[in-house]
Amino acid sequence: MSILKYRKESTVSLLVLIFGSLFLSCSASSQGIKDKVDSIKDLFKIFETMTVRVEDYKRQSRATGILLKIKDNENYRMLLTNRHSIEGADSIEIVVSQVDNEFTIIDTLRLRIPMFSRKGDSLFYFPKEHLDIACTIIPIAALIRSNRNVVISTIDTSFFVPDERIRIGLDVLFFGYPQAIWSNLNSPFVRTGTISAIDTLVHTYFLEANVFGGSSGSPVFVDFRNPSNLDMSAARKVFIGIIAKTFISPLKVKSGNDYKSSDSLVENANLAIIMPAKEIKLVFEESAQKLIPRFKD
């Protein structure tokens, strides 16, 4: 019996998913997605629908995550989000977009993922202390829990931008759920920004953009609409990394004749840190190898 539980967004009760002998293959692999991409519109739809909501109701934490394809494995997909968004939780819930062959969202699926297996093994992988990254894997059978021919959007590491191609001033797009808000069935908000600094000592990028809470884990892409980025867009090298940290500062409020920093009112500093695709790629296969046996037990 599966440790994963799921429910439709429109259904209140949780149903236990049995997938021990169940195998459902994904309707479109990442290679199929790459073959299908004919336009900027296609890229936009794929990146929009591979983005998922990440929620921890107990701690009132909201974040964003993405689904990635594991090399040579059609049975699982990897969920990638931030360590700080889920560390300390008992379980999290994700809301996944189920799409048709045109990558239009036709339904959503809510999955509860416990942090530990019944044997006490961690079902999440936190690669390194300095990396604000958390990974887990999800069986395809759990993602495609429908009688319809649904597709789960993912990309693989072939979409990752080489580190040397990132430059200061590069225009980017990022997809996410600021303040846990979405549109339509599950569409994330799409915002723009610019790479404003590159820290080569700790291997992070600084993003100048209007980034709010809930955007942690948001995937960041080269702005493939920009003609100056056409070479990377044509090669599908567009995934830069995920947002790991936003910067805020307390507002000054009047107290008598003086102004003091507020404990509850803050303003956005319009700056965020990106965990680069290069760092994600280094731990990608390692985390899959460690996690798959834990889900089989």
The average confidence (pLDDT) of the chain is 77
Cα–Cα distance for residue pair 259/252, rounded to 1 Å: 6
In the predicted structure, residue 96 carries a pLDDT above the cut 70: yes
End-to-end CA separation in angstroms for the chain: 10
CB 278 within 8 Å of CB 163: yes
DSSP 8-class letter at 287? H
Q: Which of 270, 249, 273, 272 is nearest to 261 (CA)?
A: 249
pLDDT in tens, 223-254: 988 877 767 766 778 999 999 877 655 556 65
Measured CA to CA in angstroms, residue 245 lies from 62, 81, 232 at distances of: 13, 12, 26
Q: Which of 171, 86, 178, 71 is nearest to 133 (CA)?
A: 86
What percentage of the chain exceeds 90 in pLDDT?
23
259-274: average pLDDT: 68
Instruction: Report CA 259 to chain centroid distance, whole Å.
Output: 39
Residue 288 pLDDT class (50, 70, 90 cuts): confident
Measured CA to CA in angstroms, residue 294 lies from 94, 264, 289 at distances of: 20, 41, 10
In the predicted structure, residue 16 carries a pLDDT above the cut 60: no
In the predicted structure, residue 19 carries a pLDDT above the cut 50: no
Q: The CATH number of 5-156+280-296 is which of 3.40.50.620, 2.10.10.90, 1.10.8.60, 2.40.10.10?
A: 2.40.10.10
Q: Which of 44, 51, 41 is nearest to 177 (CA)?
A: 51
In the predicted structure, residue 9 carries a pLDDT above the cut 50: no
CB 186 within 8 Å of CB 180: no
Amino acid in the structure at residue 151: V
Amino acid in the structure at residue 273: I
Higher pLDDT, 277 or 130: 277
Q: Show the tokens assigned to 289.
A: 């190898």
Q: What is the pLDDT of residue 213?
A: 76
Q: The CATH number of 158-278 is which of 2.40.10.10, 3.40.50.2300, 3.40.220.10, 1.10.10.10?
A: 2.40.10.10
CB 152 within 8 Å of CB 140: yes
In the predicted structure, residue 47 carries a pLDDT above the cut 80: yes
In our burial notation (b when 16+ CB lie closer than 10 A, e otherwise), range 258-270 reads eeeeeeeeeeeee
DSSP 8-class letter at 197? E
For tokens 């993405």, what's the residue?
A: 66
Cα–Cα distance for residue pair 130/86, rounded to 1 Å: 16
What are the residue ranges spanned by the domains of the chain? 5-156+280-296, 158-278
Q: Which of 82, 8, 53, 69 is nearest to 188 (CA)?
A: 53
Q: Which of 218, 196, 198 is nearest to 270 (CA)?
A: 196
pLDDT in tens, 163-216: 888 999 999 999 999 888 898 889 999 999 999 999 988 889 999 998 887 788
Q: Which of 224, 176, 157, 223 is nearest to 195 (CA)?
A: 223
CB 6 within 8 Å of CB 19: no
pTM over 0.85: no
Q: Show the tokens assigned to 240.
A: 């830069």
Asked if the domains 5-156+280-296 and 158-278 are classified in one and the same CATH topology, the answer is yes
